[in-house]
Chain A
Amino acid sequence: MVATGQIKIDTLHIKYYNSITYPVRAIYRDWDNLDRSPEWYAVNQSTANPFYIITDNSVQIFPTPTDTVIAGLIMTANQRPYDLTSTMTEADILIEREYHDVIAFAVIPYVYQHRQQDDRVAYYQQQLELKKRPMLTQLKKRLIRPMK
């Protein structure tokens, strides 16, 4: 599914049948707090009220699906940041593509620090703040739009 880093699941939706239009949100439950055995929930839990647990690198959903649905499991997740390296791809960067130039710009003050040009350091830090502002404004605006 996703390549690198640890993710923290935020929401998980399941579309149990091809015949339904919208997926149903599953709630997270702790393995230790289940009243009955997982096998019971696998069969008896309602598809209208599904839940999931996390085991190692897997999510386990209840009830067990009785239909095969393309893209029937949809998760939104925050991915924990990790250091970028020269072998990584664009998709590994946890900031959207259109703002990658801001990351490059953020390096410039260090270059001038290395050159001991303090006035240039201050100038480029200011420039960076100016570049960051529209990025944060744009991302904030997106929050009010429905997620795809």
Chain B
Amino acid sequence: MTPSEIVQYARTLSGCRVDEIPDADLYRYLNVEYRKLRQDVAGIDKNYKLRTLTTNLVTGVSSYALSLPVQAP
């Protein structure tokens, strides 16, 4: 599901219309709970990996740019 589908699904489950709680508020609630769930998931084991990234190795190229900031291990 996309985030907007998740919000829509939450509306369906709870019978909550946009005029009762606007999207902005639901997204705020969603993000609070999303972060908690993420912590639970990551907390299972610190070695749990959420992403495997692969790229092609190129002759003579030692530096590989990622499209996002990177932290050291």
Residues of chain A touching chain B, judged by Cβ–Cβ distance below 8 Å, are: 1-11, 14-16, 28, 30, 42, 54-81, 83-86, 88-90, 92-95, 97, 99-108, 110-112, 114, 132, 135-136, 139-140, 143, 147-148
Contact = CB atoms under 8 A, between A and B. Distances in A.
Contacts of A76: 49, 51-53
A74 B53 contact: yes
A86 B7 contact: yes
Given A58-B66, A86-B27, 8 more contacts: A1-B66, A9-B70, A57-B66, A68-B56, A93-B2, A93-B34, A95-B37, A135-B41
Interface of B: 1-7, 9-10, 13-14, 16, 20-21, 23, 25-27, 29-31, 33-38, 40-42, 44-45, 47-73
Contact of B52 (A75, A89, A102, A140): A75
B10 A107 contact: yes
Contacts of A6: 68-71
A24 to B, nearest CB: 12
A69 B7 contact: no
B3 A85 contact: yes
Contacts of B45: 140, 143
Contacts of B69: 6-7, 56-57
A28 B49 CA distance: 17
A28 B53 contact: no
A89 to B, nearest CB: 6
Task: Select the residue from B4, B25, B40, B73 with max chain A CB neighbours within 10 A.
Answer: B73
